[in-house]
């Protein structure tokens, strides 16, 4: 699995993500292009054994209430 090369000033945003354990120790530190964020999330779900949440289209705008 490969991600795009990090570019600056090209019009696409970057995401900087730091993952910490419950005691505050660093488990991972990532800088990725925003277009790779979904691919990165899928990789983390597999790596850490998490379950994907099933989305409900009716709840799409719940945050706006």
Residue 23 lies in a domain: yes
The rounded distance, in Å, linking the Cα atoms of 53 and 21 is: 21
Domain enclosing residue 43, as ranges: 10-48
Per-residue tens of pLDDT for the chain, all 65 residues: 688 888 887 778 888 999 898 999 998 899 999 999 989 988 888 888 888 777 666 666 666 66
Domain count for the chain, please give it.
1
Instruction: Please indicate, yes or no, if residue 57 is contained in any of the structural domains.
Output: no
- Identify whether the C-beta of residue 44 lies closer than 8 Å to the C-beta of residue 13: no
Whole-model pTM: value is 0.64
Q: Is residue 16 part of a domain?
A: yes
């Amino acid at each position: 699995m490969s991600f795009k090369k990090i570019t600056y000033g090209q019009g696409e945003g970057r995401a900087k993500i730091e993952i910490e354990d419950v005691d505050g120790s660093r488990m991972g530190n990532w800088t990725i292009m925003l277009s790779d964020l979904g691919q990165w999330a899928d990789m983390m779900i597999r790596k850490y054994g998490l379950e994907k949440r099933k989305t409900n289209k009716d709840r799409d705008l719940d945050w706006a209430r």
